[in-house]
């Protein structure tokens, strides 16, 4: 049994697509997968949220949204606006532990994915609890999803520094949406992202992957995630294919 927390360097970087990719690849290998969203913001009760996207792309039904708020704000701010209690990450941790317990794994391995809201240090309550606190409390490694373009080096470095300061383990850095025609900054950033992370990239999902049908998405997910996540992504080949050394 294992737990992975998925966070991003900012909002809109592709966390949900990467979470769905992790789920799809694991499920295709026969792993039992559950996905937890501690706090969903920006959608009303009848609207589809991030977990609905995971269900559509990965075919996963063991989904757990623990709180929902209509305003597109941080979970703490959205809860205040709604006049609702904030997300209690201690309760979220209890739910994740229960889902990852051996008795819930059936006869095979079990993976619980936890998708955060926004970036690593987005607040879930007025006391300042963050997804980093949840990861540390669960002793779970974190997948950091980042953009490929200009500005990503600073955002990624700050995220990884904050994780290291809090004793949170890095599972890998994944580019959430890699375009067909990357610009100069994107190609240059490959090597620098690996330098910042002190390891090869753990994946790069193609831009537009969220619009694929489930079968196509599984192929893209397998190609776009590293072997450590069950995929076939070759970081060295990706770097050599898109890097600047040949120019």
Sign, Cα dihedral of 92, 98, 100, 104:
negative
Q: What is the pLDDT of residue 189?
A: 97
Q: Supply the pLDDT for residue 242.
A: 86
What pLDDT score was predicted for residue 106? 63
Distances (CA, A) of 151 to 144, 146, 147, 216: 15, 10, 8, 30
Look at residue 109 in the predicted model and tell me its pLDDT: 75
Which residue bears the tokens 């996207």? 53
Question: Which distant-in-sequence residues (6+ apart) come within 8 Å of 177 by Cβ?
Answer: 13, 14, 17, 147, 148, 205, 206, 207, 208, 209
Mark whether 37 is an active-site residue: yes
Q: What is the mean pLDDT of each run of 10 residues along the chain (247 residues)?
A: 92 96 97 96 92 97 96 96 96 94 70 96 96 97 97 97 97 98 96 97 97 98 98 96 67
Phi, psi (rounded to 5 degrees) for 141:
-75, 155
pLDDT value, residue 65 = 97
229 near 202, Cβ under 8 Å? yes
- pTM to 2 decimals? 0.95
Phi and psi, residue 163, nearest 5°: -65, -45
Catalytic residue among 4, 25, 27, 37: 37
């Amino acid at each position: 049994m294992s737990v992975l927390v998925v966070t991003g360097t900012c909002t809109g970087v592709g966390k949900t697509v990467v979470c769905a990719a992790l789920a799809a690849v694991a499920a295709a290998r026969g792993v039992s997968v559950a996905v937890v969203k501690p706090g969903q913001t920006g959608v009303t009760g009848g609207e589809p949220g991030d977990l609905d996207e995971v269900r559509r792309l990965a075919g996963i039904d063991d989904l757990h949204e623990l709180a929902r708020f209509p305003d597109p704000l941080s979970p703490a701010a959205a809860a205040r606006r709604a006049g609702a209690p904030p997300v209690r990450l201690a309760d979220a941790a209890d739910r994740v532990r229960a889902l990852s317990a051996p008795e819930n794994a059936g006869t095979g391995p079990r993976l619980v994915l936890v998708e955060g809201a926004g970036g690593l240090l987005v607040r879930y309550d007025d006391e300042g609890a963050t997804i980093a606190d949840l990861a540390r409390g669960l002793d779970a490694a974190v997948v950091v999803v980042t953009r490929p373009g200009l500005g990503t080096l600073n955002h990624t470095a700050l995220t990884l520094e904050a994780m290291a300061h809090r004793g949170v383990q890095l599972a890998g850095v994944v580019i959430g949406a890699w375009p067909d025609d990357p610009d100069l900054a994107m190609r240059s950033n490959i090597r620098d992202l690996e330098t910042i992370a002190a390891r090869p990239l753990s994946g790069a999902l193609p831009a537009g992957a969220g619009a694929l049908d489930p079968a196509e998405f599984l192929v893209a997910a397998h190609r776009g995630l590293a072997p450590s996540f069950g995929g076939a992504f070759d970081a060295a080949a990706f770097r050599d294919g898109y890097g600047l050394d040949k120019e």
